[in-house]
């Protein structure tokens, strides 16, 4: 069954955001370039996205799925709209979509 495994937050300043979440909640972040960092607990992780070209308008819930292509087909068949086609990232692949009410989410399949 799919579950929310990740929450990506759009941020204006990656260093400030990392400092806030580290200080407030004791979270440790791994940097993936100058504009992206993520916790790596393997449970429900938090990503910080500071790249203006890739930031979403609001928090982005990411659903972990077993079959990315089947999920993409199911999203489209159920009336969802793909907003960012499948792309790879360190650790897996994902795509972004809007549900029929306009909420933006992502589906991801981990490597392996």
* Res 67 pLDDT > 90: yes
* Res 82 pLDDT > 90: yes
* Res 5 pLDDT > 80: yes
Could you count the other beta carbons within 10 Å of the beta carbon of residue 94?
Answer: 25
Mean pLDDT over residues 83-110, rounded? 95
Residues in the chain: 112
Asked which of 14-18, 40-44, 76-80, 84-88 is least confident by mean pLDDT, the reply is: 40-44
pLDDT tens column, 12-37: 999 999 999 999 989 999 999 999 99
CA 8 – CA 92 distance, rounded (Å) = 15
For residue 94, the cross-strand partners are: 87, 108
pTM: 0.85
């Amino acid at each position: 069954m799919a579950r929310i495994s990740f929450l990506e937050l759009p941020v204006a300043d990656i260093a400030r955001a990392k400092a806030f979440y580290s200080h407030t909640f004791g979270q440790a972040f791994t940097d993936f370039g100058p504009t992206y960092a993520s916790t790596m607990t393997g449970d429900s992780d938090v990503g910080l996205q500071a790249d203006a070209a890739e930031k979403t308008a609001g928090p982005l819930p990411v659903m972990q799925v077993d079959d990315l292509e089947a999920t993409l087909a199911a999203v489209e068949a159920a009336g969802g709209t793909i907003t960012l086609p499948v792309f790879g990232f360190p650790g897996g692949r994902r795509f972004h979509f809007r549900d029929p009410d306009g909420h933006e989410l992502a589906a991801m399949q981990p490597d392996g």
